[in-house]
Amino acid sequence: MGISADIGRYGFGTGPIGNLFTAVDDETARAAVDAAYEAGIRLFDTAPHYGLGLAERRLGAALAGRPRDSYTLSTKVGRLLVPSSGGGRDPEGFDVPADLRRVRDYSRDGVRRSLEESLGRLGLDRVDIVLIHDPDDHWEQAVSEAYPALAELRDQGVVGAIGAGMNQWEMLARFVRETDMDVVMLAGRHTLLDRSGTRGLLPLCAERGVRVLAAGVFNSGLLATHDASGTYDYAPAPGPLLARARRIARVCERHGVTLPQAALAFPLRHPAVASVVAGARSAAEVARNAALAAAPVPEDLWTDLAAEGLVG
């Protein structure tokens, strides 16, 4: 069935409304989803991993009054949520109680159970895209059990499109070569600062007709503001990358463009990319991203960045 052609150039990522790093309340989370929908965003991406199910519950509640055929919803499999008596807070970066814990499971039964539980949290009877989530250390089970289980669900019309989502491009390329996936989500490896996936994965996707959802386009923060500060892939930004980002920002200034504006626009220049998925935790962040996405980026900017060896 494949991925819909009308998902739009930008999608909404729900990690932040799963209380990634910092908690937001239900009202703020709902306002963020509402703002995204009202801004014309029609692709919503979530996962059990995000806030131990909180993001799925919040997204489902916010979309409950919307026509089901008016949006595309993506979730993921590979982490089952099971009860935990450990107490405390989630150790994986989400500000939520650790009353559940994640268990990696890429088996056929695990995939079916994960999807069923996601549908329960979302309050839906179907999702449009299902991605195998972060199978970095689980290739064999992911390709021999998770993928066939999803392919069967696709063949039955239970889901519309299947794929994998990762922070690395090498295993995604292997999936594209060895399976019949419709879509991959590539996080952080097709950006202004890291084009390893641009070179290593995207040409293969274009050749095989696999659509790419580009995520992590701000590399966790370094490209999110024009002054190029903050983290790179969730750790302090190395000096050389910080300097490179600031050089890119200076070139952007000559064209009346900000660094985050260029970061959002860059991934869509490749024909394999179907959409850029950006997370937001509030209506204000959604409005900011929408304004950045709507602002034109002159072609001369990319020419100048290439001439200075900053974007190839």
d(CA 222, CA 233): 9
d(CA 237, CA 279): 20
Q: Can you give the three-state secondary structure of 222-239, one letter per residue? A: CCCCCCCCCEECCEECCH
Long-range contacts of the stretch 224-230 (C-beta < 8 A, 24+): 224/260, 224/263, 225/259, 225/260, 226/252, 226/258, 226/259, 226/260, 228/259
d(CA 157, CA 178): 22
Q: How far is CA 196 from the centre of its chain?
A: 17
Which tokens in the block code for residue 158?
């239970």
Handedness of CA 48, 80, 67, 182 (dihedral sign): positive
Antiparallel, parallel or unpaired: β 72-77 and 129-133: parallel
Residue 77, helix vs strand vs coil: strand
Q: Which one, of 24, 71, 78, 20, lies nearest residue 45 by Cα? A: 71
Q: How far is CA 306 from the centre of its chain?
A: 26
Which positions are annotated as active-site residues?
A: 50
Asked if 20 and 94 count as a contact pair (C-beta separation under 8 A), the reply is yes
